[in-house]
Structures are given as structure tokens and as C-alpha cells.
Chains A and B, each alone.
Chain A
Amino acid sequence: MTPFNYAARSADPTDFIREDLAVAHREAWQHIAAPGSWLSGEKRIAVAEETRRARSCALCADRKTALSPFSSSGEHDHSDVLSPQLVDQIHRVTTDAGRLTRAWYTSLLSEGLSAEEYVEALGVTVVAISIDEFHHALGMPYEPLPAPLEGKPSHYRPSGAEIEEGQAWVPILAPGRTTPPEKDIFAGIPPGAAPNVIRALSLVPAEVRAWKMVSSAQYLSTAEMRSFETKRAIDRSQIELVAGRVSAINECFY
């Protein structure tokens, strides 16, 4: 059966789901299943599975209500495919991202997780969450995860990615330091105007491309973001009201 066959699955048959959404979600699933830059297909699928497991994880629920998210100890509900550091990353990003700290991120690195693995897992986590959240919002069951594809990670690291103090915890690319393989990431953005949120995952360029692809369908493309006229059923102020409310509930300052 074709994944994301929305015509057959909508909770309400009048909710016609645009084909570009189905296509983007399908491509994102293929992207997650394939070997990445630092994680195998098996591990990437395990990351997506862990985002779902985190929603019912007892430790995460306990931490979410604690005054400090670092006061509760214990073990996450988890599979055995991923390291404890990756499991902790995925669970915290899924359930309590607003209270992450640089000290916590640094502790994961000191325990053996690489910045590249962290960023790739973050990319897979957020794409999986956004597709699941789309289904949840429309009252549809989650799409079954695809089978992982065989192959080895490429270990591709863009030259020029480095820690920029005061900009991000993770190494990021500056538009002025991109080499031809990564030029597309900042395409259409005036020099010096690349927002940090586009640079955030740039240590693993394939993850930037994946979220931009999904974002173009769920929200707006980079070019459409600079225009205030949309081709959606809701206008730009309605879109931004929803975006702002979601961010505020999540206590996201950005």
C-alpha cells in the first residue's frame, strides 16, 4: 500500500489533504529510512520510533512536571538500538525541549555522542514529530514507519561548520563559509540574512534539506516566507497566529 494515501485515510472525508503534503511526507519517510551521514537506516528508524515511545515514557512524564527537568533520574522506556545518550536526547527534545540546556548538551558529548550524530538525530526527530503531529491534529492514526534501507552512513561533514559562540550550541555553517555542495541550503536568502533556525542543522546538510522540503508543504517555502500573499486557504496573518500560539505553548523564545 502506498504510504500517506490520504484520500483513503482522512478522519473527516471533507478534509481534502493536498497532494503536495502527501508527497512531502512520503519523501521524508524515504529520507528517514535511508542511511544518513552519521547514522544507519536502522538507527534513523529507531530514532523515529523513539519519538513515539517518548510520548508515553514514565520518566519523561515525571520530568515534565518537575521543577527542574534534571532532578528526576531513572531510565527512559526505550529500545536497545540506540545509545542511552541518543535515547535521552530524543526523549527530551520530544517532550520538554524548552528546558534543554547547553550543559546537558555538553554532557552528552562528554559521554561519547558526537555533535554530528546529535544534529542528525535532531533532524530525524523533528521531521518524524512534525508528520505525526499533522496526523494527530487531523485525527488520523500515525503512518507506519518504513523499513530501514541497507547501507553505510556517508560520514560527510561540510567544511566550514564550526561553533559560533552566542549563535548555537552545535557547530553551524555560516552562509559566507559554504562550499558549493551546500550552497543550496541558503539559496534565495540575501547574504548575511540567513536566520539561525536555517543554520541550526547545517552540520548535517541533508537534514536541512529534509526539513525545508517538509516545511514547504506544511508551512511555506523560503521564497514564500518573504511574501505576505499565500496560496493557502488561510492567509499569512492566520498562519502566523497559529505558528505563534504553538511556539508560545511550547515556550519557545525563538
Chain B
Amino acid sequence: MLRASIEYHGSQGDLRAITEGSKSGDSGVLHGVELTAFAEAALQGDPASLATARDNLRAVAGSQAVVDAAGVIANFQRMVRIADGAGISLDAPVGMMSSDFREALGLESFASAERSRELSHLQRIVAPLLRRVANFGLRRVGRRSRR
């Protein structure tokens, strides 16, 4: 969804921010460093680091952004546990759309990746074409909505 939203907004993004976090520098997403630092502190940090991360995000994006980001953090603390707890596999269309960056970012090494089937030969062939069509469509819809 991050890549789709970047395409939609017609911007350039660096998906390494997902796995490397705030240390990866500019992700291309506005206030990306502060947002990822807040997420990291919420999951890993001590209360002082978390308070600093909140202050830093608040300083650049405002209080409401802190609250909304906290909601997203909370939501995905739930979603990952639903996925892992129910043992669901990746949906085939999502797998095809994301196979390139999953490999590039090393997501295949996660233990939970074992639950998902590898793409078939045909799906591997079709996936790049599908991504191009989807990205073209997203950029076009995004441009229209910004007019």
C-alpha cells in the first residue's frame, strides 16, 4: 500500500525505510524520518525515547499527526497479530504486486513468510506487467484527483 500511495501521489519513495527505518534517511515521504522514529520508539524504545520521538514529530507535523500516527501504530500492532495468529497466507494478487520489493527488502527471510506459497511460473511472468498497469492507473487517478 505504501508503494501504491506513492504512485498515486506521483512522488518518489524509498521503500527501504520500511526495513531500515529512520536510519535509512529520506524515504521520500513527508516527515518520514520522524514518523518511522515514532513507530520504532513506540515498539522498542524506553519512555524517554518515545517522548522525544513524539516531540520531534509534533514539531514538524503537528499534534494531530502524532495522534493519527499513534492510531496507525496501534492498528498494525493488531493486524500483524491477526495475520500471524490465524496463520493466514499472502493473498495471490498482493503477492504478485509486491514480489519484487519483498525480495529486495529481504522480507522473504521473515519466519512468517513460510506460510505463503511461492508464485507460480506464470504468476512470476505476469507480475511485472500487472505492476506496470497498476502503477500507471494509480498515477493517472492521482493526477485526475489533484486537478
Contact = CB atoms under 8 A, between A and B. Distances in A.
Interface of A: 12, 14-18, 21, 89, 93-94, 97-100, 102, 105, 119, 122, 125-127, 129-131, 133-134, 136-139, 166-170, 172, 193, 195-197, 199-201, 211, 214-215, 217-219, 225, 228-229, 232-254
Contact of A238 (B15, B18, B35, B102): B35
Given A170-B87, A245-B21, A15 B39 contact: no
B interface secondary structure, majority = helix
Contacts of B72: 218-219, 234, 239, 242-243, 246
A98 B85 CA distance: 8
A245 B5 contact: no
A26 to B, nearest CB: 15
Of the four ranges (under 10, 10 to 19, 20 to 34, 35 or more), the interface on chain B belongs to 35 or more
Given A14-B58, A16-B67, A98-B110, A237 B11 contact: yes
B13 interface: yes
Nearest to B117: A166
B31 A134 contact: no
A127 B78 contact: yes
A133 B89 contact: no
A interface secondary structure, majority = helix
A238 B31 contact: yes
A234 B18 contact: no
Contacts, number: 276
8 contacts: A14-B58, A16-B63, A137-B50, A233-B62, A233-B67, A238-B31, A241-B36, A246-B73
Interface in B89-147: 89-91, 93-94, 102, 105, 107-108, 110-113, 115-117, 138, 141-142, 145
A248 B36 CA distance: 11
Given A133-B73, A199-B88, 19 more contacts: A16-B67, A100-B85, A126-B81, A136-B50, A139-B54, A168-B88, A170-B86, A196-B89, A200-B83, A211-B78, A236-B5, A238-B32, A238-B65, A240-B1, A242-B73, A243-B76, A246-B77, A250-B77, A253-B102
